[in-house]
Amino acid sequence: MSTSSHSSYNKVLYWIPTIFLCAGMIGSTIVWFTVTGPPEILKIAESMKAPNTWAFYALPFGQFIAAIIILNRKMPAARTFAYSFAMFYNGGLMILLLNSDSVSGAAIEFGKIAVAVWAYVADRNRIAKSAPQVVTSGASAPA
């Protein structure tokens, strides 16, 4: 495979899961705040046997911010944190949904976690393959 086609292949492997992940994160945040609304959020929290706390309002907003950070390719440390936040947030929702006997909802959250892991691994591979390679030779240079 030539260098240019290999680079294009890496970009495709990076952008496919990243777009799915970010579209899901942004879309679910929009649905959570516009369609669901605060009264319905309280009913959902009660049905999931979860405490009614600020987390049901702040964490979806944090998910939106994490998606924006993931799409910004200039901050690798912040992107790593955003990927881990996405995995943690969806893992917490999966556990709450399993607690409320919503297996189908938990399966969706498990799928989101799998896509987040796929996107993170693709991002790490893309960065590693685009980094300049150090050339070492067998003979040492004279001092």
Per-residue pLDDT reduced to its tens digit, 53-88: 666 778 888 999 999 999 987 888 899 999 999 999
Question: Chain centroid to CA 10: how far?
Answer: 18
Please state the φ and ψ torsions of residue 51, each to the nearest 5 degrees. -70, 145
What does the pLDDT average to over 9-21? 86
Q: What integer pLDDT is reported at residue 13 of this predicted model?
A: 83
How many residues are there in the chain? 143
Residue 64: inside a domain, yes or no? yes
* Any domain includes 135: no
Is position 137 within any domain? Answer: no
What is residue 95's predicted lDDT score, i.e. its pLDDT? 86
Q: Supply the pLDDT for residue 6.
A: 62
Q: Where in the sequence is the domain holding 77, given as residue range(s)? A: 3-129
Average pLDDT, the chain: 80
- pLDDT for 52 beyond 70: no
61 conformational bin, left if phi > 0, alpha if psi -120 to 50, beta if neither: alpha
pLDDT on residue 134: 58
pTM for the whole structure: 0.75
Is 142 a domain residue?
no
Instruction: Compute the distance between CA of residue 110 and CA of residue 102 in angstroms, rounded to an integer.
Output: 12
| pLDDT of 21 higher than 60 | yes
Is the pLDDT score of 42 beyond 90?
no
**Amino acid occupying residue 19:** I
Residue 53's SS3 state is coil
- Residue 46 within a domain: yes
In a domain, 14, yes or no: yes
Residue 105 lies in a domain: yes
pLDDT at 131 over 60: yes
* Residue of higher predicted confidence among 37 and 103: 103
**How many independent structural domains does the chain possess?**
1
Q: Is 3 exposed, middle or buried (0-12, 13-18, 19+ CB in 10 A)?
A: exposed
Residue 11 placed within a domain: yes
